[in-house]
Structure 1
């Protein structure tokens, strides 16, 4: 989308056309936030008005082949969000994409450091933290003490079990496949699936 869209609630009408294959678009209000997957511009030269589709997931942009291309892609999309309306830039990709492409990981970490060094008004936050700020905006000087952003993830308590059972199971829903399941309870007869959620074959 151009300009990029901000997250919005479903209390009111969507600020864009409803897209999707056979999706049912909401016709009434819902108390839910929509985090927009803004299309990422994958043009090599943003000044050249090339008519190529964007991508929502970074790792689905099949024209990113080198770390330099990835770095330029990140800068261009950051500028597009930052210079137009400061809508949050969502960067969605699978961890394996970075793990399998060390050059991309190096470019990504370099880019993050560069953005933070050059922009005192940019933060890398979770989707929940974006919504918390939208609901209760703070200035640059206040955001350092913004309580929802100061929360830390604390691991409490012991793990559910010290030695889980490792079960090699099958399911008639996935014929011919052996599926591994780690569980703290006894191994079920079958792999739990849609028509057999307990794995006991009663459904």
Structure 2
């Protein structure tokens, strides 16, 4: 994850990091470039968010064959590839999100939880449902302590 790189200290460094990795993928093997970082990292570092948004705008303005998609959409395209001219009508890439209706909640529950996997640590979790007994983890995905 990019947000674990301690050598990226400025927006310019983050922008250069993105460009370097994009160029490596675009100019060499054309493999999908995964962008992995937490939203909170961008929210807490406005300079990085500005650099990221500028980079996206620049990439889209200069490359008519680049798309920002989810990993699921990458797999769908790999299973059923389309040309650039066909991809605009590629059904799996059509937007299916609906923002109609009420939000799940206006103010989420703030849960202070523990986990057997991280003894002695309190982990904060915000959720629109009841707080689980434990922090959800691989061996306890519901946080109910049944596993």
Q: TM-score, normalised by structure 1?
A: 0.55
Aligned to 2:59: 115
Distance 1:140 1:100, change over 3 A: same
Mapped partners of 1:60, 1:201: distance in 2: 30
Q: Secondary structure at the match of 2:119?
A: strand
CA 1:67–1:146 in structure 2 vs 1: closer, same or farther (change >3 Å)?
same
Question: Could you report, residue by residue, the CA deviation over 1:139-196 in whole angstroms, capped at 9, with x for unpaired residues?
Answer: 1111000000003123677777999988777788877777778889988888888998
Q: Secondary structure at the match of 2:133?
A: coil
How far residue 77 of structure 1 moved from its aligned partner, in angstroms, is 0.6
Cα distance in structure 2, aligned partners of 1:107 and 1:183: 30
Report deviation, 1:81. 0.1
Alpha-carbon separation, structure 2, partners of 1:160 and 1:126: 23
C-alpha change, 1:94 and 1:188, in structure 2 (3 Å) is closer
Q: Distance in 1 between the 2:94 and 2:51 partners? A: 28
Larger radius of gyration: 1
Instruction: Give the TM-score of the pair, scaled to structure 2.
Output: 0.73
- Between stretches 170-179 and 112-121, larger displacement belongs to 170-179
Q: 1:181 to 1:99 in 2, by over 3 A?
A: closer
Rate the CA distance shift 1:174–1:108 in 2: closer, same or farther, 3 A: closer
SS of the residue corresponding to residue 121 of structure 1 reads coil
Which 5+ residue runs of structure 1 have no aligned equivalent? 1-56
d(CA) in 2 for partners of 1:60, 1:189: 29
Q: Deviations over 1:38-92 (max 9, x none)?
A: xxxxxxxxxxxxxxxxxxx111222111111111111111000000111000010
Count of matched residue positions in the alignment of Structure 1 and Structure 2: 147
Gaps of 5+ in 2: none
Task: Provide the C-alpha distance between the structure 2 equivalents of 1:58 and 1:199, rounded to a whole number of angstroms.
Answer: 28
RMSD: 3.9
